[in-house]
């Protein structure tokens, strides 16, 4: 892979005079590119339907387990917050260990057992040193299978959540994200955010019911990453999770997904703001969209990194922001597109206009091959770099299962991104991006930024409770 | 897994044995890690080079550490080192303006940089066939970075937005700024790396060029490369790219010592966007290379790492007074501090938070820590250490840091021994020695609209 030309001539550690072997005036040419091959891993399905993936990584003497339940807040139904509270309580006591004992046992070994919930899934992770593998698996399976949902712990989380909600009213990014979900998804569950009323309305029994209905081995996958051998770890997993009974996953009853029509600016007035948080949003397809790898190149061109157009325009040309990026946020049943920037008050209106201009430009003006070549390579190379991270590999393997992606998705991923043409970029941008049917969320000092925003489009003002303000 | 009968017996034996061990913390044992191999040497111009060859993945991480940070700034030029970091992305004699990122992105990589009190670092992550690109760009920046008026004007605006985003527009965003001002008063640690923006406006182009000539020298830099490369050809390439950069004069390092206050200090920060009462208790502690640093880390773990820690159990779990609480040593090259920060639950008074933290700290000083707590903290450090150096980027960064600030690159393999060398009684000793009530700083963020105290202040 590397050039061997100089090896016979120069020996280790000698100070070598700087000959003109290199030409400083030109960018050096790369050696032949290494292949981005998705790592091998072992897949097994336990008799109860639990899918298990084992990914070997012997760089560290550690092991990580990651269980995905394929139900998240989308399965809350009328009990808003059920998924999130269920996740929060998993490591706060089991039928045989109270919260204090569970904390002491994990902390004592430097083991972490943590859970979190998202729109489509709950993730429970456990990690620690391989010398404690048995113990980690014991604590982990106990948290997953036998959580106590003790009343006292439930009330603590309720109280903490109410305080957190109070704090979030002052955090510009929290305000922006909550309102963004609402204006894109409306009453579809992806648009929900937790309110104090939801929190006080929840009962312990709601979590017990959620756990009972959704925590099923046939509604889950488990990845193991670390310095463990599949043949040794699989029997331990069978022992820990084998008794878990399969069941029928309840069907979801969902309203229709709304569509964004026209351009509306949703302005959250946060007095005292010295900067505005901007999110330009439009509808997007779900995660299993067949154009996803190619669409990555489109997004990278517009706003994927330091070399994206948004960053180059809003930061490097205008100096309006520290960063401006865009991304598709793909969920299981729908997605959205988000272009963001944080700008000082006086340039907020112009920054929104400039983001819209860049979205329109990628849809209508052909890009140069040179620019697309850079973005192809940026995507392919960074994908290759990401393969170094084995927990990321675990997440990808479980994503295939969670989102119903083709089994070879990551095997063909790099190759597909590597052949995208400028014509394809324009075609896909036309298909998936819009500068006219957009919802624009801005959090900032309304009295300073509203007049400029009104030049861009209709403005609806909200207070920090995210309630529309009527004048 | 089926256990052979005699293994099962051993396993059963292990239980009582470990119980015995728990009561006898005299000889804790630690895990044996696979050593991270490296070679290191100096070029004739003083550049220190550290190479970690590892072919696990076809990637390389390069990391250049300049031993200059905000503490090298003048008090009327704060934010200078960080601002300069932005300018290092502009270009060089051979790299046109704005091309550095395009070259790295176009090679399939990513890049970034950061500035702290003691250092400025630059890193690239690339597929391993692009090693030469990384060496070329970093050597160009070290040899003849280009600083022109256009770049300076744009980055002045960008850095102001960075400050607004990270500090001015966030609840508690000024916490570290206020904390440094208090604890490190009278030293160059009294200001944070982002600095004050007006000084960047006042600085001239010539000042930036002088800063570059003073600090961006091979004899003030360390280059670490980790990943998929072959050692000998890489040594040659490093020599070819970096060898011709002339050595500069020795760097004058600021000499100063952080001192204790003569009396306790309390400072309230009133901000309209503070949502919940929050308080910080802080004490001047030691520099990062002080032998007590490790006892202070373990003290921090015992106070707040995990839900079985003292402060969590008391403030969050038992009293339900705090939403979160964290004790953290923040140790730098020339001095440090230990802070305890708690955010109150909605409606909980600052005095209540202050009182609870006080009680827990005083209890630890009076009674010391239990054998169980001591062992637990060591185990937590062991787990963190073992999982800490997985990627090539983390290896390159830490190899360079251990060299520059500890003078011992091999600490990447051995630092855990220093934790295990701490004795249980050391933890109580450092608590008593450093966390004196009479020299405590209290920094409070009263929630907007809420009274700071329910009763007259206790202090």
Span B297-355, pLDDT tens digits:
999 999 999 999 999 999 999 999 999 999 999 999 999 999 999 999 999 999 999 99
Indicate if the alpha-carbon torsion angle A301, A305, A310, A315 is positive or negative. negative
Contact B109 A382 (CB under 8 A): yes
In a domain, B19, yes or no: no
Q: Label residues A171-191 b or e (16+ Cβ within 10 Å = b).
A: bbbbbbbbbbbbbbbbebbbb
Same domain, B273 and B127: no
Same domain, B404 and B305: yes
DSSP state, A6?
T
Pairing of strands A220-226, A51-56: parallel
In a domain, B134, yes or no: yes
Which two tokens mark B289?
A: 């290379």
Token pair 């009561």 is found at B23
Nearest to A255 by CA among A191, A176, A324, A312: A191
B208-223: average pLDDT: 96
CB pairs under 8 A between A and B: 263
Scanning A432-461 for CB atoms below 8 A from B yields none
Length of chain B counted residue by residue = 459
Task: Render pLDDT for B90-126 as a digit per residue (tens, 0 to 9).
Answer: 999 999 999 999 999 999 999 999 999 999 999 999 9
Q: List the single residue in A with minimal CA-CA distance to B156.
A: A319
Q: List the single residue in B with minimal CA-CA distance to A104.
A: B308
* C-beta separation of B36 from B412 below 8 A: yes
Residues of chain A falling short of pLDDT 50: 1-18
Same domain, B282 and B205: no
Q: List the single residue in B with minimal CA-CA distance to A314.
A: B158
Same domain, B221 and B273: no
Residues A344, A273: Cα–Cα separation, whole Å: 9
Residues B382, B377: Cα–Cα separation, whole Å: 9
Instruction: Look at residue A17 in the predicted model and tell me its pLDDT.
Output: 44
* C-beta separation of A100 from B304 below 8 A: no
Most A CBs within 10 A among B19, B159, B236, hence the mutation to make, goes to B236
CB proximity B414 to A under 8 Å: no
Instruction: Look at residue B12 in the predicted model and tell me its pLDDT.
Output: 32
Contact B323 A160 (CB under 8 A): yes
Same domain, B83 and B163: yes
Instruction: Look at residue B165 in the predicted model and tell me its pLDDT.
Output: 92
User: Please, which residues bridge with residue A223 across strands?
Assistant: A53, A66
C-alpha B96, offset from chain centre? 33
In a domain, B176, yes or no: yes
CB proximity A169 to B under 8 Å: yes
Instruction: Look at residue B325 in the predicted model and tell me its pLDDT.
Output: 98
CB proximity A372 to B under 8 Å: no
Instruction: Look at residue B151 in the predicted model and tell me its pLDDT.
Output: 86
Domain boundary among B174, B209, B242: B242
Instruction: Look at residue B147 in the predicted model and tell me its pLDDT.
Output: 86
Instruction: Look at residue A276 in the predicted model and tell me its pLDDT.
Output: 97
Instruction: Look at residue B218 in the predicted model and tell me its pLDDT.
Output: 98
Which two tokens mark A129?
A: 């040193």
Contact B110 A382 (CB under 8 A): yes
Contact A342 B169 (CB under 8 A): yes
Task: Render pLDDT for B69-100 as a digit per residue (tens, 0 to 9).
Answer: 999 999 999 999 999 999 999 999 999 999 99
Same domain, B237 and B276: no
Instruction: Look at residue B93 in the predicted model and tell me its pLDDT.
Output: 94
CATH number for the domain harbouring residue B74: 3.30.830.10
Same domain, B238 and B330: no
Task: Render pLDDT for B222-267 as a digit per residue (tens, 0 to 9).
Answer: 999 999 999 999 999 999 999 999 999 999 999 999 999 999 999 9
**Alpha-carbon distances of B2 from A125, A134, A226, B6, rounded to whole Å:** 26, 13, 21, 12
Radius of gyration of chain B (CA): 25
Q: What count of other Cβ atoms lies within 10 Å of the Cβ of residue B432?
A: 13
Nearest C-alpha of chain B: how many angstroms from A290? 23
C-alpha B76, offset from chain centre? 25
Contact B164 A344 (CB under 8 A): yes
CB proximity A465 to B under 8 Å: no
With cut-offs at 50, 70 and 90, classify the pLDDT of residue B65: very high
CB proximity A4 to B under 8 Å: yes
Q: Which domains does chain A have, with CATH numbers?
A: 42-241 (3.30.830.10), 263-462 (3.30.830.10)
Same domain, B234 and B344: no
Q: What count of other Cβ atoms lies within 10 Å of the Cβ of residue A28?
A: 19
For residue B19, pLDDT beyond 70: no
Length of chain A counted residue by residue = 471
Nearest to B128 among A34, A128, A374 (CB): A34
In a domain, B4, yes or no: no
Nearest C-alpha of chain A: how many angstroms from B262? 35
Contacts of B343 in chain A (CB under 8 A): 167
DSSP state, B189?
G
Which two tokens mark B3?
A: 């256990």
Nearest to B233 by CA among B47, B46, B51: B51
Contacts of B153 in chain A (CB under 8 A): 319
Residues A57, A40: Cα–Cα separation, whole Å: 11
Same domain, B225 and B280: no
Cα end-to-end distance, chain B, whole Å: 61
Contact B171 A167 (CB under 8 A): yes
Nearest to B140 by CA among A5, A21, A22: A22
Contacts of B156 in chain A (CB under 8 A): 319
With cut-offs at 50, 70 and 90, classify the pLDDT of residue B450: low
Domain count, chain B: 2
Instruction: Look at residue B3 in the predicted model and tell me its pLDDT.
Output: 32
For residue B16, pLDDT beyond 50: no
SS3 of residue A36 by DSSP: coil
Scanning B340-359 for CB atoms below 8 A from A yields 343-346
Nearest C-alpha of chain B: how many angstroms from A67? 20
For residue B361, pLDDT beyond 90: yes
In a domain, B77, yes or no: yes
Nearest to B225 by CA among B437, B454, B400: B400
With cut-offs at 50, 70 and 90, classify the pLDDT of residue B200: confident
Domain boundary among B242, B257, B274: B242
Nearest C-alpha of chain A: how many angstroms from B139? 9
Instruction: Look at residue A282 in the predicted model and tell me its pLDDT.
Output: 98
Same domain, B269 and B155: no
Contact B346 A387 (CB under 8 A): no
Domain boundary among B210, B242, B274: B242
Contact B168 A167 (CB under 8 A): no
Contacts of B272 in chain A (CB under 8 A): 271-272
Contact B273 A343 (CB under 8 A): no
In a domain, B247, yes or no: no
Q: List the single residue in B with minimal CA-CA distance to A417.
A: B108
Nearest C-alpha of chain B: how many angstroms from A333? 31
CB proximity A414 to B under 8 Å: no
Same domain, B79 and B205: yes
Nearest to B169 among A34, A275, A377 (CB): A275
Most B CBs within 10 A among A93, A108, A414, hence the mutation to make, goes to A108
In a domain, B201, yes or no: yes
CB proximity B269 to A under 8 Å: no
Its domain, for residue B433, covers 265-445
Please tell me the pTM assigned to this model: 0.92
B388-406: average pLDDT: 96
Which strands, in side-by-side order, build the sheet including B221-227? B39-42, B48-53, B221-227, B59-66, B120-127, B110-115
Nearest C-alpha of chain B: how many angstroms from A451? 21
Same domain, B282 and B233: no
For residue B4, pLDDT beyond 70: no
In a domain, B125, yes or no: yes
Contact A159 B313 (CB under 8 A): no
User: Please, which residues bridge with residue B281 across strands?
Assistant: B340, B442
Q: Which helix (H) or strand (E) holds A16?
A: none
Contact B128 A35 (CB under 8 A): no
Nearest to B161 among A12, A343, A380 (CB): A343
CB proximity A150 to B under 8 Å: no
Contacts of A7 in chain B (CB under 8 A): 232-233
Contacts of B323 in chain A (CB under 8 A): 160, 163-164, 167
Contacts of B56 in chain A (CB under 8 A): 59, 388
């Amino acid at each position: 892979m590397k050039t061997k030309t100089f090896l016979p001539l120069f020996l280790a550690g000698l100070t070598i005079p700087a000959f003109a072997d290199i030409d400083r005036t030109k960018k050096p040419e790369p050696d032949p590119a290494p292949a981005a091959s998705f790592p091998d891993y072992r897949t097994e399905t336990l008799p109860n339907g639990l899918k298990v993936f084992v990914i070997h990584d012997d760089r560290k003497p550690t092991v990580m387990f990651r269980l995905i339940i394929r139900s998240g807040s989308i399965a809350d139904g009328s009990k808003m917050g059920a998924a999130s509270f269920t996740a929060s309580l998993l490591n706060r006591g089991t039928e045989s260990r109270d919260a204090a004992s569970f904390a002491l046992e994990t902390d004592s070994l430097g083991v972490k057992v943590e859970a979190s919930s998202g729109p489509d899934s709950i993730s429970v992770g456990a990690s620690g040193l391989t010398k404690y593998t048995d113990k980690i698996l014991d604590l982990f399976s106990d948290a997953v299978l036998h959580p106590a949902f003790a009343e006292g712990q439930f009330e603590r989380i309720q109280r903490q959540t109410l305080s957190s909600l109070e704090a979030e009213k002052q955090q510009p990014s929290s305000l922006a994200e909550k309102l963004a979900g609402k204006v894109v998804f409306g009453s579809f569950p992806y648009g929900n955010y937790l309110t104090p009323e939801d929190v006080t309305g929840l009962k312990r029994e709601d979590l017990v019911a959620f756990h009972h209905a959704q925590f099923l081995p046939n509604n889950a996958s488990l990845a193991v990453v670390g310095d463990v051998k599949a043949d040794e770890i699989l029997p331990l997993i069978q022992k820990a999770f084998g008794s878990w009974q399969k069941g029928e996953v309840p069907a979801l009853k969902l309203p229709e997904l709304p569509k964004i029509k026209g351009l509306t600016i949703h302005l959250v007035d946060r007095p005292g703001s010295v900067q505005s948080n901007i999110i330009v949003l439009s509808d997007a397809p779900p995660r299993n969209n067949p154009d996803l790898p190619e669409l990555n190149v489109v997004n990278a061109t517009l706003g994927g990194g330091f070399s994206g157009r948004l960053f180059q325009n809003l930061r490097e040309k205008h100096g309006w922001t520290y960063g401006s990026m865009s991304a598709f946020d793909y969920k299981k049943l729908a997605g959205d597109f988000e272009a963001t920037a944080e700008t000082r008050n006086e340039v907020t209106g112009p920054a929104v206009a400039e983001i819209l201009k860049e979205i329109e430009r990628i849809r209508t003006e052909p890009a140069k091959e040179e620019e697309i070549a850079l973005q192809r390579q940026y995507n392919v190379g960074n994908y290759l770099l990401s393969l170094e991270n084995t927990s990321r590999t675990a997440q990808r393997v479980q994503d295939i299962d969670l989102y119903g992606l083709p089994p070879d998705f990551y095997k063909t991923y790099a190759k597909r991104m590597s052949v995208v043409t400028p014509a394809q970029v324009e075609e896909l941008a036309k298909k998936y991006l819009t500068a006219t049917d957009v919802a624009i969320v801005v959090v900032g000092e309304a009295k300073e930024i509203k007049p400029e925003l009104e030049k861009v489009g209709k403005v609806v003002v909200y207070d920090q409770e995210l309630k529309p303000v009527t004048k | 897994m089926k256990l052979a009968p005699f293994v099962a017996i051993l396993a059963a034996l292990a239980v009582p044995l470990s119980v015995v061990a728990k009561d006898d913390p005299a000889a804790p044992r630690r895990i044996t890690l696979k050593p991270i191999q490296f070679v290191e040497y100096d070029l004739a111009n003083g550049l220190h080079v550290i190479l970690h060859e590892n072919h696990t993945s076809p990637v390389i991480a390069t990391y250049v550490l300049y031993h200059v940070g905000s503490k090298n700034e003048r008090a009327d030029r704060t934010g200078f080192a960080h601002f300069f970091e932005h300018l290092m992305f502009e270009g060089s004699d051979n790299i046109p303006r704005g091309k550095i990122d395009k070259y790295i992105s176009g090679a399939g990589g990513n890049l970034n940089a950061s500035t702290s009190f003691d250092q400025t670092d630059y890193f690239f992550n690339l597929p391993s066939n692009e090693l030469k690109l990384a060496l070329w760009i970093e050597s160009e920046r070290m040899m003849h970075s280009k600083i022109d008026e256009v770049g300076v004007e744009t980055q002045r605006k960008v850095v102001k937005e960075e400050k607004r985003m990270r500090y001015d527009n966030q609840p508690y965003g000024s916490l570290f700024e206020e904390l440094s001002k208090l604890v490190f008063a009278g030293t160059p640690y009294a200001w944070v790396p982002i600095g004050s923006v007006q000084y960047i406006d006042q600085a001239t182009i010539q000042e930036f060029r002088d800063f570059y000539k003073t600090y961006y020298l091979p004899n003030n830099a360390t280059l670490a490369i980790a990943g998929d490369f072959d050692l000998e050809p890489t040594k040659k390439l490093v020599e070819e790219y970096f060898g011709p950069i002339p050595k500069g004069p020795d760097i004058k390092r600021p000499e100063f010592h952080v001192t204790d206050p003569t009396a306790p200090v309390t400072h309230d920060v009133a901000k309209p966007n503070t949502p919940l009462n929050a308080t910080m208790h802080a004490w001047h502690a030691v520099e990062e290379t002080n032998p007590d640093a490790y006892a202070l880390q373990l003290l921090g773990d015992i106070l707040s790492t995990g839900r079985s820690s003292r402060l969590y159990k008391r403030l969050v779990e038992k009293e339900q007074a705090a939403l979160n609480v964290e004790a953290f040593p923040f140790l730098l090259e020339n001095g440090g501090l230990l802070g305890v920060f708690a955010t109150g639950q909605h409606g909980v008074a600052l005095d209540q938070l202050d009182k609870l933290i006080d009680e827990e700290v005083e209890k630890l000083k009076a009674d010391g820590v239990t054998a169980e707590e001591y062992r637990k903290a060591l185990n937590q450090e062991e787990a963190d250490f073992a999982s800490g150096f997985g990627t090539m980027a983390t290896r390159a960064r830490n190899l360079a840091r251990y060299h520059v600030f500890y003078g011992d690159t091999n600490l990447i393999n051995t630092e855990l021994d220093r934790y295990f060398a701490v004795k249980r009684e050391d933890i109580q000793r450092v608590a008593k020695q450093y966390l004196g009530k009479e020299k405590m700083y209290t920094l409070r963020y009263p929630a907007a609209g809420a009274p700071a105290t329910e009763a007259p202040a206790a202090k």
